[in-house]
Every structure is written in C-alpha cells, then in structure tokens.
Structure 1
C-alpha cells in the first residue's frame, strides 16, 4: 500500500539475498534479516536492490523476496523493490511490484548501455508512468541524469526522490537547491556513512546503510552524533569502525555486497559468506580483518549505549 507521495527518510535497510549451500534462496534467512532490521529501528526496507544482488536473481526469486519482505514488514515501514536493467524486464518487475502491494521502487540503471540524456529520460519516464507506485531515481554507473532531466521527471507525481550513487557534489548541490523539497534526497554511495557529513548540510537526510545489516546500533549512534553536532563521537566511530571497514571494502570489486554477508556471518546471522558470480566472497585475510574490527567496535560501542 502506498504510504503517501514522500520517499522514506532516515536510515534505510537494504537486505541481502541469502543463498543456501545448494545455491537456492533461503526465505527463512531473508525473513530473519528483515526482522532484525525492523527490530533495530530502520525506517524502510529496500528489497531485491543492489545489496540483494538484483542483477543475479530470477523472477521467481524476485517475487519470493518481495513476498518475504512484505510479510516481515507487516506494514510497519515502507517496502520498496528494485526495478531496472532491460527495459521490458523493468516494466514487468514494476508491474509485479505494484500487484504485490509494495510502496514503491528504486529505479536502477538500464543494462550496459551508456545512453544520451534524452534516452535516459525516456527510460525513466517509461518506467515511472507505467505504474502508480512511488519511484526513487538511482543516480549511478551508466545512468546519471542532469538536473534538467530530473526536473522534467518531476512532472510525474510518482517520482518522490533521488538516490545518489556517484558522489558528484556539484550535481547534488544544484539538484538540491534547484528542485528543493519537491523531492527527497538519499545518499546511496557504498558505505554511505563515510560521506554523510558532506551530504547532510545540502539536504540529503537519508542514507542506505550496509553496516546496518550487522551493526545497526553503531550506524544509529553515528547518525545521531552527526545530526546533533557531536563531532567527537563522529570522529571516534569514523576512525574505529567506518573507515577501517571501508578500507576492506575497497580491496576487491563486489565487496560492497559480499562484505555485508561476511559481517552478518561474523555477528551470528544465518548467512553464508557467499554471493553469485561475478561477485566474489570475502577472502580469508579480509574476513579476519573484519572480525577484529567488529570485535573492537562492539567493545567500544556496546549495543546498550545505542541511541533509540
């Protein structure tokens, strides 16, 4: 059910796609993943998106993931799906999402092609106008629309937000101050906590948190410190947790996804350290580094000290 024409705000949860040893999707582990995010107070669930290995799941698995997310959320928070890639597939999956009753979708880039601005506009327009669902445009990779094209898309009431995954601050400032409150703005860079101090002052009040899949209380502590101006706490969490994890993430392509699973595995969740190719699992050396970081993080920032 659509919960108004506004994008979710706050810390946004992006569940993973947990696979069993036989390669099949584990609905039970996915439900637990989502329930954990909800119990930890995250403000929305974005299912079958980048962290959910959108590019590697079948339509059957896509439908399974949406069903599990809706059942787990139970109307507590908005549920958004991932839609994109091949245009025909995007239209079909948008329709599936609407039929199943999600609140909206994150519009991911088209497959492979680097289109001109007019082509990117037509791609987004075709999908947005195909349903009545809320749509959030994801700026990343081969699909980065200009302020002018996004302004054109605001004629569709379905468009409620923009998620930035490229880090072009000139574009972001222009977007925020040109279009203003008509849209909501989300920091969607990998390990978004790293850049939130730069994004918050220009109107990006939401972000997708990878570490919330395994240490959500620390992400909340960080965001609270950032909003309240507690620079000492911000720096402490930066140097102790965020930057060390980010350094591991940068070691291999695909770690933006598989490092989440490794973190969840270390913290005792029912998730294997595995992902579908071309994403590679976290290597032993990096896994051990992450173990050490998380052990130290939990000692320094115990869950009982988290801000609710």
Structure 2
C-alpha cells in the first residue's frame, strides 16, 4: 500500500532535444532523498505523451535504478492497447513495481469498452495497476466497480474533479470489495492536487500526486504534514499564499500544469530542459510570477 507524498518526476531533455537519463537520475534521487513515498516516472508530469517507446523504457529503467528499492516505482502506461501492453511489459522487465494506466488514445469509448481496456492491460502486464480516471477515460461508478474487481487493479486515481460522482464511486467500490477484503486505494490526481486535498480527504481519498514536490519538496512536505495532522491554520496559509495563486497561474495557458513544473525545477538549479511540442514553455512574465510564488511559498515554510 502506498503512503506519503507521491512524486511524479519530470522527464529531462538535453539541449539537442534527446532524453537526458543522467539528469533524470539526479532528479529522482533528490526526490527520494527528500522523502517521496513513491515514484511515478513517465506519467503526465513526465510528458508520457511525448516519449517514444524506447525513451519510455529508458525513463523507467533510470527511475528504478535511481530509486534502488527505497520506495515503490509505478510507471505510466497507456495509449493504444498494443502500445500500453508493450510498455507495461517493458516496465515489468525493468523492475517497476506497478503501473498507472493512462487513458487510451483519443477515442471516446463506452463504459464496457473502457473496462475491457483495463482488463486486457492488467492481464497482460502482470503488475499491480492503478486506473486513472480522466480525459476520455471517465468511469461511471458501475464501471469503476468492475475494474476494481480485476485481480491486479489496486487503485483508482481521479483526475476529473466531479466530487459527487467520485464520492459515489468510492462507496460503491468499498462495498463491492468488502467481503474480499482486497487492498485498494484511491488517489487525487488533479493538477496541483493540494488545492483540492481537503475536499478529497472528506470523501475518503487521502492520497494525492504532488507536482509541486518536483521543484519545491519543502512546500509539498510542509503541506502534507499540515493536512495529515489536522493543522487547518497551516493548510489555509499554504493554500492562500502559494497553492491557489499557483493554480491561477497554471490556468492561464493549456499545458502549464506540466511546463510550469519543469520551469520550477530549472529555477531550483537543475537543468531539465524545455517541454516538448505540443506543449509550450512559460513566458518570461509567467516565469517571473512563478519565481515570486516559489519564494513566497518557501518563506511560508521557513516562518512556520
């Protein structure tokens, strides 16, 4: 079972645009040393959409080697069914402990088709699998119960933000698995998840992915301590002073949920390169705002 702050590393690229495994290793080791509860390479923040199958495998291998057994490694897979199965197999062969299943490519499928997609990947992968509810892979409570019953499916991560439907889904899955006593976890997977952590915890979803951890683990961990110890005053201060303004900046441009994070890593001194097309790097004005926000967040942590 996973616990703590979940780390979704960015994928560094060299000046010539190629994958930079050495910098990725540095980035991952720093996150583990800072206190990550698990590492999720080649996922949304890691630009899964922009990686070739070979690069994906190199990213997963580098992450596994860099973690060196300290915490679990869950690799992102998804896209067309054969691609998802191929990437899952390569992740297994390179030592990943589990998988995060991203949506299938482009198509809007019916609920039975989505369940079949999950089942076929899970059966072929041979690893514990977390289903990502987002974009064109939105599971109804009924479909979510069906995927939760699949042997290797161990979690449900929400990136939609429909609290009412998710609350029904959480209860429905728990009830369906009660007699089996199957270990199963729920995750908040919204961008800048900290902004919605209090709401998600209220419906039984305590785990969340922290993109901020990539570039400001001090802020991410301070928030996690506050929210898990019930320090509401501290939670509110960090939300008002850092996370909510970051959400406002993130929402200015599509893709900033990834490119701002990568820019933040560069601001902290690790050159991870730019984002790949079709994403765009932040403007100078927005970089300046991010820098000011970062300093404000670190100041809040220092003055705790």
Please give the secondary structure, in 2, of the residue aligned with 1:204.
Answer: coil
Q: How many residues align?
A: 297
Map of 1:51-70 to 2, 5 A cutoff? 51-70=45-64
- Output the CA distance in 2 between the equivalents of 1:37 and 1:203: 26
- Is the Cα contact below 8 Å between 2:148 and 2:155 reproduced in 1? no
What is the match of residue 115 of structure 2? 121
Please give the secondary structure, in 2, of the residue aligned with 1:22.
Answer: coil
- Is the Cα contact below 8 Å between 1:132 and 1:158 reproduced in 2? yes
Q: CA deviation at 1:91?
A: 0.9
What is the match of residue 277 of structure 1? 277
Change (3 A) 1:235 1:155: closer
- Is the Cα contact below 8 Å between 1:10 and 1:205 reproduced in 2? no
- Is the Cα contact below 8 Å between 2:64 and 2:73 reproduced in 1? yes
List alignment gaps of at least 5 residues for structure 1. Answer: 1-5
What is the match of residue 3 of structure 1? none
What is the match of residue 203 of structure 1? 204
Please give the secondary structure, in 2, of the residue aligned with 1:163.
Answer: strand
Please give the secondary structure, in 1, of the residue aligned with 2:75.
Answer: strand
- Output the CA distance in 2 between the equivalents of 1:17 and 1:135: 21
List alignment gaps of at least 5 residues for structure 2. Answer: none
Q: CA deviation at 1:224?
A: 1.6
- Output the CA distance in 1 between the equivalents of 2:230 and 2:60: 37
| Match among 9, 13, 19 for residue 25 of structure 1 | 19
- Output the CA distance in 2 between the equivalents of 1:294 and 1:37: 17
| Match among 4, 8, 18 for residue 10 of structure 1 | 4
- Output the CA distance in 1 between the equivalents of 2:33 and 2:85: 33
Please give the secondary structure, in 2, of the residue aligned with 1:136.
Answer: strand
What is the match of residue 192 of structure 1? 193
- Output the CA distance in 1 between the equivalents of 2:56 and 2:263: 22
Map of 1:140-289 to 2, 5 A cutoff? 140-180=134-174, 182=182, 183-272=184-273, 274-289=274-289
Deviations 1:214-250 (A, max 9, x none): 1112111112212222111111111111111111110
Deviations 1:113-157 (A, max 9, x none): 000111111111111111220000000000011121121223322
- Is the Cα contact below 8 Å between 2:158 and 2:187 reproduced in 1? yes
CA RMSD of aligned residues (A): 1.3
Map of 1:127-142 to 2, 5 A cutoff? 127-142=121-136
- Output the CA distance in 1 between the equivalents of 2:238 and 2:164: 27
Please give the secondary structure, in 1, of the residue aligned with 2:129.
Answer: strand
Deviations 1:61-106 (A, max 9, x none): 1111011101111001000111110111111111111111211100
- Is the Cα contact below 8 Å between 2:218 and 2:298 reproduced in 1? no
- Is 2:294 the counterpart of 1:300? no
- Is the Cα contact below 8 Å between 1:128 and 1:159 reproduced in 2? yes
Please give the secondary structure, in 2, of the residue aligned with 1:130.
Answer: helix
- Is the Cα contact below 8 Å between 2:73 and 2:97 reproduced in 1? yes
- Output the CA distance in 2 between the equivalents of 1:266 and 1:125: 41
- Is 2:29 the counterpart of 1:35? yes
- Output the CA distance in 2 between the equivalents of 1:114 and 1:130: 23
- Output the CA distance in 1 between the equivalents of 2:24 and 2:252: 27
Q: CA deviation at 1:111?
A: 0.5
Q: CA deviation at 1:296?
A: 2.2
So what's the TM-score if we normalise by structure 1? 0.93
